[in-house]
Chain A
């Protein structure tokens, strides 16, 4: 899981290393560290850290280590990693068809956001729709691909997937 925390550290040399060492001790992977010199509270300054940690047990161990070395955790929240999905559907595609398809997708995956754009051709066969969105689970990428592949085939639409750079 990916977490984002605000810490208060004593404003003395070596204190940042003191806060980061426990992260490596619990095999956490640091994604970002930002100093907030304007978050001054008494003799303490603010630091924001984003990191990946494998489970709750390791997180509890980390919190205990921080407490032991005097690092104060003032806020902790989850950061959700998302995965992009995008498709172009070609042929007689209508808003109703797409909404129905996406309703089905929402019931079976972690689809978190979606955006749709249409062309406005009078010729149904030339019409196209661009669907982009995000899912929270990587495994859902294949589920959505398979679903769109099957359903567009049934409806008679050409499906063009993204994900080449994935």
Chain B
């Protein structure tokens, strides 16, 4: 029996609850039952050591609350009181101080519990400290969904390519920016119009600053740098240029030369940056739409390209499930 708590019951948290409700019999046979014992958002919580029904929780959330009880004190204090094996930490990203997610992860790892998170805040601010704490307490910290959603870049680079000398990773790490640049390039739309279209389709937030100024991509670059290259950097160490100054004329001029513009995150020997770049038409990174894609360059294998849906309820839940399997297999 593996007991799970979900911290953060927004889009991704609900997606993972749905995954738990539909785990295959084969999975239960191999690893034993997976039991959801706790879930909370910023206002309310549900907790039962005998297990909660994920479907009932989803219905309750749809009606306005995760559980009947209000969170007493802070959510970290609440979590400290809970008994579980694995924390799924999916509260919103805060790159100021890591937000409540930082406290949740510190609480879980400090108690020797495994953590799966998609929260870029803690990982792009205090990565090595969290990894160190996990190691000392004999816990695992997994975060596949934090970079590229369903695109399995961390697993590929860290595990499948283990032993390789990875020299650089370049990629499109934000689907919103890619959609905007793709529409500007293909339809000749000005930036503001492409952005409005992205907002109408639900790809961009009402306040799109975090995406279009490259902050989201910079978080992911910092995480890749720490996780794959073993560095100790924060999001603030990443040189960052967004796409809000890209003009339709610049895109048309690039196209005349057989190039498209893409917001590229790059981790290299001497580079840690997010910036709009020229990409030759036909190159894997010239991909359109909202997909995420990354090219891992290594000494022996040469370039390896991975792509996938970078965000979304079930896509990110799929990445969490993959991390969960890794933890269960290791036990």
Contacts and interface: CB of A to CB of B under 8 A. Distances in A.
Interface string B278-319: 111001010000000000000000000000000000000000
Contacts of A129: 253
Interface stretch (B10-18, B208-216, B226-234, B269-277): B269-277
A interface, how many residues as a size bin? 20 to 34
Given A119-B249, A160-B261, A160-B275, A88 B254 contact: yes
A166 to B, nearest CB: 10
A87 B285 CA distance: 17
Contact of B283 (A90, A126, A165): A165
Interface string A57-78: 0000000000000000000000
Contacts of A158: 241, 245-246, 250, 276
A164 B285 contact: yes
B252 interface: yes
B247 A128 contact: yes
Interface in A102-136: 117, 119, 121, 125-130, 132
A102 B279 CA distance: 23
B277 A164 contact: yes
A161 interface: yes
A161 B250 contact: no
B270 to A, nearest CB: 7
A140 to B, nearest CB: 15
Given A142-B270, A165-B279, A165-B283, A130 B247 contact: no
A146 to B, nearest CB: 10
A22 interface: no
B97 to A, nearest CB: 29
- The interface centre, meaning the residue of B253, B259, B264, B280 with most chain A CB atoms within 10 A of its CB, is B253
B253 A119 contact: yes
A119 B252 contact: yes
Interface of B: 170, 241, 245-250, 252-254, 256-257, 259, 261-262, 264, 270, 275-280, 283, 285
14 contacts: A88-B250, A88-B254, A88-B261, A90-B246, A90-B247, A126-B248, A126-B249, A126-B250, A159-B275, A160-B277, A160-B278, A161-B278, A162-B259, A164-B278
Given A160-B246, A164-B277, 7 more contacts: A86-B257, A88-B261, A90-B249, A126-B247, A127-B249, A129-B253, A160-B277
